[in-house]
């Protein structure tokens, strides 16, 4: 019996993984080959999807990208024994893209069957919860603080401090809310965790509930992720069945219930207070802070809101200790970040590395340069509110503070590359347009400023009073930066200004005029 792996991650499905799996099953039956087909998560080397793996005595051997038409020739070449083929890449673990990573949060992703609890347990799953159940709550929170973990949703707020606030809040009912709205273009780490290792998110949220005394959790999931919705619901049912969720978890007397709720296509509902409004069944309008959600969150009660990756990083911290996690990274950016390589890159995918590597390493070494073969001109880091980084800045280390130093942000780790055909004035216009479409409308600088911003960029492009309109665009950005209630209006100027400052020629002016 040979084990063959074909991913069930939706990125793999999007390029035909189900058809590949069916072709392999059919061909094996015809040839009388005995195989066990496992639908694993994706290894994150997405340019190789559909990536098929075969288990051999030396380890798993990779073939990709496999299309259904390739299956007959794979059998002919005896891929079931790990033989070479035009599509083979040797041992999966030795592929440099994977071998060079530091996978902590994504340790199991791609290796296991996402819905197999026994796989999860066999690969260190629920060790963190076990330790948690043997500790007093304050010590759990201390471990999280010691790990140096900062929120992976974008704002990079220290997770331990947030948890401590909720722990200290007096209330009969508290909530744990997972922000799985992942709206940034170029990001899919949350999606992969949910589809490819859902138990790690469930475990992380359960630990949070036990640590601060919350018995109800919600995962607020964007509606664009129907596959993740299915997997999470199945995983929750399995965890309940095995008493990892519900009443009296593993005989500890602790209770934690978990439910998935769908968003409805509003980017602003990724902002934590808009998210809470939405969970309460209201329009996703941003709340004034204070009060902070840790004290008055969901239905006005103390609530931890954390990003999916923040929660998914908790189990390994509680398994190996805060100090272990803190050992990775640089400066005040501790641990690892799953970077997501997207857009015009030859080798797009997920790269989990400790903070401190450079964009050049990601784009050139991992990404292999542009998919189009042209030179890379700009990279947007950190989603639609993140700056466009020019090649001159590719050597700045990726850590939160260094990026702030170049007026950019690491955010949720989305890396979107553009080749030299990109029109940066058009991208600036898009940033304003996106803000106009997605603004919650609560404050004027964002609501009106973004619409005006689109008009002004249009005039600049049309060379209508160009110099005056560039000045106007800057002052508009200034108003948005300083006068917006949340980071939607407050950061939309970053992509706009970075485009203007680094690529003035696309706006019809040269660097000298820019300086004047």
Partner 1 sequence: MSYTELYRDLVDLPGALLPIFHRIQERLGYVPEAALPEIAHQLNLSRAEVHGVMTFYHDFRSAPPGKTIVKICRAEACQAMGADALVEHAEQCLGTQMHSTSEDGSVTLEPTYCLGNCALSPAVMINGDLKGRVTHARFDALIAEAKGANQ
Positions that interact with ligand SF4 (CB under 6 A)? 268, 286, 439-443, 446-447, 484-486, 488-489
Per partner kind, with CB cut-offs from 5 to 8 A, the member of ligand SF4, partner 1, ligand FMN, none near residue 446 is ligand SF4
CA 198 to chain centre: 14
Segment near partner 1 (CB under 8 A); pick from 217-225, 288-296, 327-335, 499-507 = 217-225
Question: Strand pairing of 336-343 and 414-419?
Answer: parallel
Question: Strand pairing of 257-262 and 216-221?
Answer: parallel
Minimum separation from the CB atom of position 9 to ligand FMN (A) = 20
Could you tell me which of 377, 354, 350 has the C-alpha nearest to residue 366?
Answer: 350
Minimum separation from the CB atom of position 437 to ligand SF4 (A) = 11
Segment 226 to 265, residues that bind partner 1, using CB under 8 A: 226-227, 261-265
Per partner kind, with CB cut-offs from 5 to 8 A, the member of ligand SF4, partner 1, ligand FMN, none near residue 227 is partner 1
C-alpha Rg value of the chain to the nearest Å: 24
Per partner kind, with CB cut-offs from 5 to 8 A, the member of ligand FMN, ligand SF4, partner 1, none near residue 14 is partner 1
Segment near ligand FMN (CB under 6 A); pick from 3-11, 46-54, 210-218, 267-275 = 267-275
- Does 201 bind ligand FMN (CB under 6 A)? Our answer is no
Segment 298 to 317, residues that bind partner 1, using CB under 8 A: 299
Residue closer to ligand SF4 by CB (options 291, 441) is 441
Count of Cβ atoms closer than 10 Å to residue 94 Cβ: 13
- The residues near 253 (Cβ < 8 Å, ≥ 6 apart) are none
Minimum separation from the CB atom of position 67 to partner 1 (A) = 11
Per partner kind, with CB cut-offs from 5 to 8 A, the member of ligand FMN, ligand SF4, partner 1, none near residue 489 is ligand SF4
- Does 487 bind ligand FMN (CB under 6 A)? Our answer is yes
DSSP secondary structure string for all residues of 391-433:
GGGTTSB-SHHHHHHTT---TT-EEEEEETT--HHHHHHHHHH
Q: Is residue 481 within a helix (H) or strand (E), and if so which, with residue range?
A: helix 466-483
Among the residues of 268-307, which ranges form H helices?
272-279
Segment near partner 1 (CB under 8 A); pick from 110-118, 199-207, 224-232, 464-472 = 224-232
Segment 85 to 104, residues that bind ligand FMN, using CB under 6 A: none
Per partner kind, with CB cut-offs from 5 to 8 A, the member of ligand SF4, ligand FMN, partner 1, none near residue 10 is partner 1
- Does 381 bind ligand FMN (CB under 6 A)? Our answer is no
CA 8 to chain centre: 18
137-147 and 159-168 helices, crossing angle to 10°: 160
Sign of CA dihedral 6, 7, 10, 11: negative
Could you tell me which of 110, 309, 138 has the C-alpha nearest to residue 211?
Answer: 138
Q: Is residue 493 within a helix (H) or strand (E), and if so which, with residue range?
A: helix 493-502
Count of Cβ atoms closer than 10 Å to residue 508 Cβ: 15
Retrieve residue 486's tokens.
């949340």
DSSP secondary structure string for all residues of 77-138:
TTGGGT---TTEEEEGGGSHHHHT---STTTTTTTS-TT-HHHHHHTTTTHHHHHHHTS-HH
- Does 417 bind ligand FMN (CB under 6 A)? Our answer is no
Interface pattern 104-143 for ligand FMN (x via CB under 6 A):
----------------------------------------
Minimum separation from the CB atom of position 88 to ligand FMN (A) = 38
Using the rule CB under 8 A, which residue among 26, 31, 282, 289 binds partner 1?
Answer: 282
Per partner kind, with CB cut-offs from 5 to 8 A, the member of ligand FMN, partner 1, ligand SF4, none near residue 439 is ligand SF4
Per partner kind, with CB cut-offs from 5 to 8 A, the member of partner 1, ligand SF4, ligand FMN, none near residue 155 is ligand FMN
Residues in the chain, total: 516
- Does 495 bind ligand FMN (CB under 6 A)? Our answer is no
Residue closer to ligand FMN by CB (options 48, 304) is 304
Q: Do residues 137 and 212 lie in contact, with contact meaning Cβ atoms separated by under 8 Å? A: yes
Minimum separation from the CB atom of position 127 to partner 1 (A) = 29
- Does 435 bind partner 1 (CB under 8 A)? Our answer is no
- The residues near 372 (Cβ < 8 Å, ≥ 6 apart) are 344, 419, 421
Taking the C-alpha atoms of residue 124 and residue 188, their distance in angstroms, rounded to an integer, is: 24
- Does 223 bind partner 1 (CB under 8 A)? Our answer is yes
Retrieve residue 425's tokens.
């004035």
Residue nearest to ligand FMN (CB): 151
Q: Do residues 61 and 92 lie in contact, with contact meaning Cβ atoms separated by under 8 Å? A: yes
Q: Is residue 515 within a helix (H) or strand (E), and if so which, with residue range?
A: helix 511-515
Minimum separation from the CB atom of position 190 to partner 1 (A) = 8
Residue closer to partner 1 by CB (options 92, 143) is 92
Chain residues in the site for ligand FMN (CB under 6 A): 151-155, 157, 179, 181-183, 268, 270-272, 305-307, 310, 486-488
Chain residues in the site for partner 1 (CB under 8 A): 10-11, 13-15, 46-47, 49, 182-188, 190-191, 223-227, 261-267, 278-284, 299, 340-345, 348-350, 371, 380, 384, 414, 416-419, 422, 427, 430, 434, 437-438
């Amino acid at each position: 019996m040979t084990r063959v792996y074909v991913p069930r991650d939706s990125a793999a499905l999007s390029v035909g993984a189900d058809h590949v799996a069916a072709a392999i099953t059919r061909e094996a039956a015809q040839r009388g080959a005995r195989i066990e087909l496992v639908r694993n998560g994706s290894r994150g080397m997405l340019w190789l999807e559909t990536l098929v793996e075969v288990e051999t005595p030396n380890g798993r051997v990779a073939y990709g990208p496999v299309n259904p038409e390739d299956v007959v020739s794979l059998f002919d070449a005896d891929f079931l024994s790990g033989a070479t083929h035009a599509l083979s890449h040797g041992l999966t673990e030795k592929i440099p893209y994977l071998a060079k990573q530091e996978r902590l949060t994504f340790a199991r992703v791609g290796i296991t069957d996402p819905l197999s609890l026994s796989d999860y347990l066999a690969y260190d799953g629920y060790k963190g919860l076990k330790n948690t159940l043997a500790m007093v709550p304050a010590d759990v929170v201390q471990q999280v603080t010691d790990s140096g973990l900062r929120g992976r949703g974008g704002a990079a707020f220290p997770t331990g401090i947030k948890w401590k606030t909720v722990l200290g809040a007096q209330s009969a009912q508290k909530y744990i809310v997972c922000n799985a709205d992942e709206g940034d273009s170029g990001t899919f780490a949350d999606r992969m965790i949910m589809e490819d290792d859902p138990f790690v998110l469930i475990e992380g949220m359960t630990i949070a509930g036990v640590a601060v005394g919350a018995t109800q959790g919600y995962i607020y999931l964007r509606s664009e992720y129907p596959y993740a919705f299915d997997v999470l619901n199945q995983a929750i049912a399995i965890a309940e069945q095995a008493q990892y969720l519900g009443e009296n978890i593993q005989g500890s007397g602790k209770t934690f219930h978990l439910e998935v709720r769908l968003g409805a296509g509003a980017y602003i509902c990724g902002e934590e207070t808009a998210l809470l409004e939405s969970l309460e069944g209201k329009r996703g309008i941003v709340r004034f802070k204070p009060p902070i959600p840790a004290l008055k969150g969901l239905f006005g009660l103390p609530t931890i809101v954390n990003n999916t990756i923040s929660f998914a990083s908790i189990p390994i911290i509680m398994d190996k200790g805060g100090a272990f996690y803190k050992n990775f990274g640089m400066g005040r950016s501790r641990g690892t970040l799953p970077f997501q390589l997207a857009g015009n890159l030859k080798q797009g995918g997920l790269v989990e590395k400790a903070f401190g590597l450079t964009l050049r390493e990601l784009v050139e070494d991992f990404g292999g340069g542009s998919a189009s073969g042209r030179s890379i001109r700009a990279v947007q880091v950190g989603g639609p509110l993140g700056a466009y980084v020019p090649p001159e800045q590719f050597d700045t280390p990726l850590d939160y503070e260094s990026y702030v130093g170049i007026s950019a942000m690491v955010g949720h780790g989305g890396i979107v590359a553009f080749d030299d055909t990109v029109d940066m004035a058009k991208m600036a216009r898009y940033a304003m347009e996106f803000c106009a479409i997605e603004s919650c409308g609560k404050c004027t600088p964002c609501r009106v400023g973004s619409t005006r911003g689109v008009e002004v960029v249009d005039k600049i492009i049309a060379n209508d009073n160009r110099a005056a309109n560039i000045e106007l665009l800057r002052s508009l950005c200034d108003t948005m930066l300083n006068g917006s209630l949340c980071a939607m209006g407050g950061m939309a100027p970053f992509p706009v200004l970075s485009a203007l400052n680094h690529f003035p020629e696309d706006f019809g002016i040269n660097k000298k005029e820019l300086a004047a």
